Amino acid sequence: MTLPLHSDVPGRLTRRARSFVSCHGIKVDTQSIDRRWWLERDIPAAVIDRMAAYQQRWGGLVLPPAPQYDGGPRYFHPDVPECSPSGGWSFEAGDQRSAVPYSFMIGPADEFGIHAHQWTPLHATVEGWVESLALTHHASMWAKQITRVTGDDVDSIALDAYEPVREVKGLADTWWRGADSLVAVYMGEATSLSFPPARTALIYSGLDDWGLRGGVEDSDV
């Protein structure tokens, strides 16, 4: 069963992201968290509580594919908690949309990221990932030109005159706002797979003020 989203948009999101989720997201039915099943497998109750809270807020949400990570999770659904060697528990954020060599995870501090050779948080929160998807959709609509840069060429992008886009809560992946362009820098695969050529940036140029901000003011972040 799928349901369109209208006013029931999860998380603390900007107006841009709320509109994106409402217009382009759907909800599918997913199983609830079986607390007893996980407790019998020695998963701490606090970790199960986090999984249940994630499921209640985000479970079953399907969003359009991301431009990287072969689209991101098919939909949000918690599964397979695991403890890292350094301490702290993570759990799967949702199944892969396509065949990628890593899992999408919610980290010990509720970061959204990927795990392959190592755990790499992409955004400080799930909301940050959703904000990035919303900004991708917005920038793609309004940019006059989109340029893809990969590998060592990413280092040549001069971001000194740019400001970070705060709502994406970027960690390995970041967004930057300039005078007439937005730059999305994706370092997650390069870090998690220990493969520097996977570094990627997308430059959305030829933007006016609406294209740069999409109606999002600092007070919204």
Give the residue extent of every domain in the chain.
2-129, 130-220
Mean model confidence pLDDT for the chain: 93
Is-contact 190 199, C-beta < 8 A? yes
Amino acid found at 117:
H
Q: How far is CA 38 from the centre of its chain?
A: 26
How far apart are the C-alpha atoms of 132 and 169, rounded to whole Å?
Answer: 9
Interval 163-190 mean pLDDT: 98
Please give the radius of gyration of the chain, using alpha carbons only, rounded to the nearest integer: 18
Question: Which residues, in sequence order, are CB contacts of 152 under 8 Å at separation 6+?
Answer: 196, 197, 199
Specify the DSSP class assigned to residue 96: B
pTM of the model as a whole: 0.93
Q: Which residue has the tokens 């039915």?
A: 29
Label residues 80-104 b or e (16+ Cβ within 10 Å = b). Answer: ebeeeeeeebbbbbbebbeebebbb
Interval 175-196 mean pLDDT: 97
Kindly state the percentage of the chain with pLDDT values over 90. 87
Longest CA–CA span in the chain (Å) reads 56
The per-residue pLDDT for 106 is: 97
The per-residue pLDDT for 1 is: 44
Q: Which residue has the tokens 């689209």?
A: 71
